[in-house]
Amino acid sequence: MKLPPSGSCKGEGYILLVGGNSLMFSGSIVALITPMDDEAAVDEESLQTLIDYHVKNKTSAIVVAGTTGEAATLEREEHVSLVLKAVELAAGRIPIIAGTGSNATRDAISLTQRFENSKVAACLTITPYYNCPTQEGLYRHFEAIAKSSDLPQILYNVPSRTGCDLLPETVVRLAQIPNIIGLKEATGNLERLSMIKPSVGDNFILLSGDDATGFDFIQKGGQGIISVTANVAAGGMTELCQRVAEGKFTEAGRLNERLMPLHKELFIEANPIAVKWACKRLGLITAETLRLPMTSLTLVNQKRVEDALKSAGLLS
């Protein structure tokens, strides 16, 4: 994959370059919810509100139709339309990363190729859930997807949700494939970072996928976080990442401590149940609708999430 010269941009600002010829996504990247109306159809008006909110709060990029975006309940054409609509509404102001994962390699390839020649900045591809392939199977899965497209690919490892763990040695192998540019590591195991980072090039992007340990992950050398918390605390997560990048760890630590109740309570029920309720509570979306089999946040947990929003200074 050819990269433009240092300091330039490709795709009207959708792909960011930071230093040298490094393709870089860093800082606070939001794992965006998919807003839905009372009939469970995609709510484009609320989608515009969410994108504007993240542009205003200087979120680095937006992941659309990922696991937090309820990709598993989206129909294929709906999935593609959602991503392309987000690109349209972003209008070059913020990069859009498309969730393109599947537990079937051919299906993931087909979905990835739908975004060729679009202004999608990169693809985020989860490990094949349920199948539980071997490490060699995982390598071949991601290799096949990467070779099928020129789009930059970010690996996504979240074994607590998929039952499938992409081990560090396999990540290191995959990092040698030119358009596999990074990893979202959501195990919360900080040792993974120290096992991977010395064995991959400086241009390989390591992103936390676990809000509760994201501060420590970045402090130990990660470039950023793909965050659920950023859905409701976009400014706080941007500031947190900036403070760490500036080496202001004490300030960043205090901010992270204030956000910690959110990091925890937004996962009190299966994601994105709590964060959708929180977005509705803050007026960012018009309805908290989820698609079955996901159900609304229980009353007892609504109080806990509301208290976390207050602790973060998002509600009086």
Q: Is residue 256 assigned to a domain?
A: no
pLDDT in tens, the chain (316 residues): 233 222 223 333 334 433 333 345 999 999 999 999 999 999 999 999 999 999 999 999 999 999 999 999 999 999 999 999 999 999 999 999 999 999 999 999 999 999 999 999 999 999 999 999 999 999 999 999 999 999 999 999 999 999 999 999 999 999 999 999 999 999 999 999 999 999 998 899 999 999 999 999 999 999 999 999 999 999 999 999 999 999 999 999 999 999 999 999 999 999 999 999 999 999 999 999 999 999 999 999 999 999 999 999 999 8
Q: What is the pLDDT of residue 9?
A: 31
pTM: 0.92
Angle, in degrees to the nearest 10, between helices 76-90 and 44-56: 40
Is position 18 within any domain? no
Q: Is residue 158 part of a domain?
A: yes
Output the CA–CA distances (angstroms, integers) from residue 34 to 84, 129, 286, in the order listed: 13, 21, 12
For position 227, which CATH number holds? 3.20.20.70
pLDDT at 24: 55
Catalytic-labelled residue, pool 119, 184, 276, 280? 184
Domain of residue 50 covers: 27-248
Answer yes or no: is 258 within a domain.
no
Q: Is 303 noted as a catalytic residue in this protein?
A: no
Which position among 156, 220, 276, 303 bears the catalytic label?
A: 156
pLDDT at 202: 87
The reply to whether 53 belongs to the active site is no
Structurally, the chain folds into a number of domains equal to 1
- Report which DSSP code applies to 125: E
User: What is the rounded CA–CA span in Å between residue 311 and residue 307?
Assistant: 6
Whether 122 is in a domain gets the answer yes
Looking at the domain assignment, is residue 281 inside a domain?
no
Closest CA to 245 of 88, 89, 91, 58: 58
Q: Is 15 annotated as a binding residue?
A: no
Question: DSSP E strands: which ranges in 167-219?
Answer: 180-185, 205-208
- At residue 86's C-alpha, the angle toward residues 17 and 297, to 5°, is 115
- Residue 274 inside a domain? The answer is no
How open is the CA angle 220-224-228, to the nearest 5 degrees?
120
- 143 in a structural domain: yes
127 marked among binding-site residues: no
pLDDT at 31: 98
